[in-house]
Amino acid sequence: MTQEQQDPNSAKNLTSSPSSSSSTASRVSGEININSASSSGGGAGGAAPKIHYPNPPDATNPDAATLREQWRFAIRQYSRWYSHAWGTAILAGISFFALGWIIKGSNPLPSRQDHHDHTSDER
């Protein structure tokens, strides 16, 4: 086997040089050139892979209408999640109360029980 077959990342197979990749990484948003980390590791050819983020930041801030629309969507979404959480909590509470009533056969809350032996305490 030759050296080129063993090492698919040889300098001959790379498409960009390290100087051109470092200058383009600073201009393109969402990419990071990790040349400094790979140069100490002794990588083949010195060219480092670029990390592509799935959701890079915007180049400019969006206009006010877009921000307002995004904010309204976020509020609606949060309100929906909040109401679902409260609904689930209330349903779980009612379910556990009913389950306790079924298991015990009467009201499971001790503070709601009638105390009939108060006559001995009174003077």
- In a domain, residue 118? The reply is no
The whole-number pLDDT of residue 25 equals 46
Q: Is 123 helix (H, G, I), strand (E, B) or coil?
A: coil
pLDDT values of the chain reduced to their tens digit, one per residue, 123 residues = 555 555 555 544 444 444 544 444 445 555 555 555 545 555 555 677 888 888 888 889 989 999 999 999 999 999 999 999 999 999 999 999 999 999 988 888 877 556 665 555 555
In a domain, 59, yes or no: no
pLDDT score for 1 = 52
Considering the domain architecture, whether residues 32 and 68 belong to the same structural domain is answered as: no
Tell me whether residue 120 is in a domain.
no
Question: On the CB side of 35, how many CA atoms lie within 13 Å of its CA?
Answer: 16
State the total domains in the chain: 2
pLDDT for 71: 96
Cα–Cα nearest to 17, from 51, 52, 46: 46
Write out the two tokens for 55. 């959701």
Q: Is residue 68 part of a domain?
A: yes
Cα–Cα distance between 6 and 34 in angstroms, integer?
A: 24
Query: Does some domain include residue 21?
Result: yes
Q: Are residues 68 and 92 in the same domain?
A: yes
Give residue 51's pLDDT: 84
Range of the domain at 34: 3-52
Distance CA 18, CA 51 (A): 15
